[in-house]
A and B are shown apart, each in its own frame.
Chain A
C-alpha cells in the first residue's frame, strides 16, 4: 500500500506551503587578494555567507561542472589557485545546520592555505570578489495541506523555490539535519517512515 492509498489523518496543524524570494544586496566588503578574502569572510554578515553558498547551490544546482560556492569559483577563475579552489569546493552545505558553522569551515580552509602558502595571499586577482548578501522574503502560496493527500497534491503544485525553502533552507531555521516536510509528516500525519526517508534525502541530494 502506498502512502497515497493510506487513510488520511486530519492534522492538528495544517502544512502551509510557503516560498521564498531573495534580493541580492551589494555588500561593503570586497577582496582583491586571498588575504582580503579571508578578512571579508570573517567580517561579512551571515546573509552574505548564505548568498555565496546556499544560494549558489540553489541557482546553479543544474550545472554539473564547476564549483558549488562562489568562493571556490572566484579562487579558481580570478585567482588561479586550483588547490585552494578544490578545498573550498569540497565544502558541502548540506552537512551544515548553521551559517556560523559554514563560515568557520571556509575560514579554516583559507587560513590553513595561507599559512602554508603565505606568498599566495598577497597576489592581486584578475578581478575582485564582491561580497553580496541575500535578503530573504518569505511568501505564502495558495496551497495548504490538512492531511497527507493534500500534502502530496500541494507538493506536486508548488515551485522548486518552495521546495528549496522547506527542504534545504529549513535546516538553517530548524538547526536540524531535517526539513519542514519531514517534521510535519512525522508530527501531524503520523507518517514516521516517510519522514525518515525524506530526512535521509535531505542529506544525500
Chain B
C-alpha cells in the first residue's frame, strides 16, 4: 500500500489511464481513455507575457482566429488533413494556421 492510499480511498472512485497503474483499492477503479495529465509541465497554464512573447516571435496575430494542431509532427497525426481543413475554413473566416509541436522524441510524453 502506498502512502497516498488512505487519502485516495476517501473519494468515491479513482481513475487510471492503464490497468497496469491500478491498485487494489477499496473504492471502484475506472479506466479512462485517452487521458491528459493536468500536472504535466506541458499542460500548465501560460501567463500573459509568455503567450505574448511566443506570438510575437512567430508573427501570430492574436486579433484573428487561429486554426491549430498541437501534436508531434507525425504522419499519424494527419497534418495534411489539418492544412486542408484550414484551407476550407479560410474561405469563410479570415483565420491563420498554427502547427505547433515536436518530433518523434515527444512520443513518450504523448502516451
Q: Which residues of A sit under 8 angstroms from B31, Cβ to Cβ?
A: 24-26, 132
Interface residue? B22 (CB, 8 A): yes
A156-200, CB < 8 A from B: none
CB distance from A16 to the nearest CB of B (A): 28
CB distance from B105 to the nearest CB of A (A): 25
Interface residue? A28 (CB, 8 A): yes
Cβ–Cβ contact A23 & B30, under 8 A: yes
Q: Which residues of A sit under 8 angstroms from B30, Cβ to Cβ?
A: 23-26, 135
Interface residue? A94 (CB, 8 A): no
> How many of chain B's residues have a CB under 8 angstroms from any CB in A?
9
Q: Which residues of A sit under 8 angstroms from B32, Cβ to Cβ?
A: 24
Interface residues on A, range: under 10
Interface residue? A130 (CB, 8 A): yes
- Chain B, Cβ-Cβ closest to A130: B19
Q: Which residues of B sit under 8 angstroms from A23, Cβ to Cβ?
A: 30
A118-161, CB < 8 A from B: 130, 132, 135
CB distance from A132 to the nearest CB of B (A): 7
Interface residue? B35 (CB, 8 A): no
Chain B residues proximal to chain A, CB less than 8 Å: 16, 19, 22, 24, 28-32
Known: A26-B16, A26-B29, A132-B19. 10 other contacts (CB 8 A): A24-B30, A24-B31, A25-B29, A25-B30, A25-B31, A26-B30, A26-B31, A130-B19, A132-B31, A135-B28
